[in-house]
A and B are shown apart, each in its own frame.
Chain A
Amino acid sequence: AQSVAQPEDQVNVAEGNPLTVKCTYSVSGNPYLFWYVQYPNRGLQFLLKYITGDNLVKGSYGFEAEFNKSQTSFHLKKPSALVSDSALYFCAVRDNVGTYKYIFGTGTRLKVLA
């Protein structure tokens, strides 16, 4: 069965510092991986996805994510955090064997401190 784990409930980082939000996954076959962000009282917004190809995926708002097959990880990164990046971040996975289900992680709250 497919699953995704976000091991940190909260990540605190100082403004201007690099940030990393961790995600590991388990799927049958090759994974499709996604990151979404949720601001307070809003729906989730798509940030980026990995389907195949280059292991470094670039997305919206300066975010990027690195796919690591051997470590089954898809960590979200940004070189320089902004206070406005403070939000709830979700990693999601879908397998490619036809179930069409998207499984979301439990979310990581990112707090960027001024």
Chain B
Amino acid sequence: DSGVTQTPKHLITATGQRVTLRCSPRSGDLSVYWYQQSLDQGLQFLIQYYNGEERAKGNILERFSAQQFPDLHSELNLSSLELGDSALYFCASSSGVAAPYEQYFGPGTRLTVT
């Protein structure tokens, strides 16, 4: 158990809908990362937050947004969903941001868009 929790575990929704994925980092970790894992594209970095502020952005679509709250949990919002958004979404956390800390991954949320 990494100490990172993600909810829900599974999510099935229709095209055009909006969903929110939630992540609670390991106790004491200030950095949160979001990744998308699909069969054909591997693990894609989406976005990183550190202590409530956005620190790095990857291949995140404009339809997607995220935030990190004062209690350090983070939410990833996916809107106007398309079939191609079906994937596993992972959250990871680490102690800080500047040093190359290892990341601790949650179990993931499997999103199925029908």
Contact = CB atoms under 8 A, between A and B. Distances in A.
Interface of A: 32, 34, 36, 41-46, 49, 51, 90, 94, 96, 98-107
A49 B4 contact: no
Given A43-B92, A49-B100, 14 more contacts: A34-B100, A43-B4, A43-B105, A44-B43, A46-B102, A46-B104, A90-B42, A100-B48, A100-B55, A100-B98, A101-B58, A102-B33, A104-B35, A105-B42
Interface in B41-86: 42-45, 48, 55-56, 58
Contact of A43 (B2, B56, B102): B2
Interface of B: 2, 4, 33, 35, 42-45, 48, 55-56, 58, 90, 92, 97-98, 100, 102-108
In order of increasing CB-CB distance, the 7 nearest A-B pairs are A43-B105, A32-B100, A106-B42, A46-B102, A104-B43, A100-B56, A44-B105
B104 A107 contact: no
Judged by DSSP, the binding face of B is strand
Judged by DSSP, the binding face of A is loop
A43 B45 contact: no
